[in-house]
């Protein structure tokens, strides 16, 4: 059975402790309603990134990343909007692995996507 995550409609942060008496987000303190997202609709992604002179881009399978990003996201099925719940950028491989494992602990039923290129 999938856990239900409560997501603030204002700041998109997950919360396990909304102030239900006032419909108030404990993260951004906005009066709001909460999206109820099944954990199976959440995806944890880890991507290798390469600096390309204009910023960064995703690695291709045969490239060695300069850094790594970890993203936890969900997609609103009615609107198609992608909501980033957590985003960690410019990590070392060790930091990315630790962050990814921490997110898997928070969302054990989430889907997983990984494109990390080749090891350094």
- Both structure tokens of 27: 């993260």
Alpha-carbon 35 to chain mean position: 16
Question: Any idea where the domains of the chain sit in the sequence?
Answer: 4-115
Q: What is the pLDDT along the chain (120 residues), one digit of tens a residue?
A: 568 888 888 887 776 555 555 677 877 877 877 788 888 889 999 999 998 888 889 998 788 999 999 999 988 767 788 888 899 999 999 999 999 999 999 888 999 988 776 654
pTM of the predicted structure, to 2 decimals? 0.77
Dihedral sign of CA atoms 111, 116, 118, 120 in order: negative
């Amino acid at each position: 059975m999938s856990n239900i995550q409560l997501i603030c409609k204002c700041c998109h942060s997950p919360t396990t402790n909304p102030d239900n008496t006032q419909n108030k987000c404990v993260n951004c303190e906005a009066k709001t309603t909460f999206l109820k997202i099944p954990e199976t609709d959440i995806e944890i992604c880890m991507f290798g990134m390469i600096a390309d002179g204009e910023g960064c881009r995703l690695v291709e399978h045969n490239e060695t990343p300069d850094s790594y990003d970890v993203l936890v996201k969900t997609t609103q099925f009615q609107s198609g909007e992608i909501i980033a719940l957590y985003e960690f950028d410019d990590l070392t491989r060790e930091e990315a692995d630790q962050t990814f494992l921490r997110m898997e602990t928070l969302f054990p039923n989430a889907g997983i996507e990984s494109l990390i290129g080749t090891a350094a």
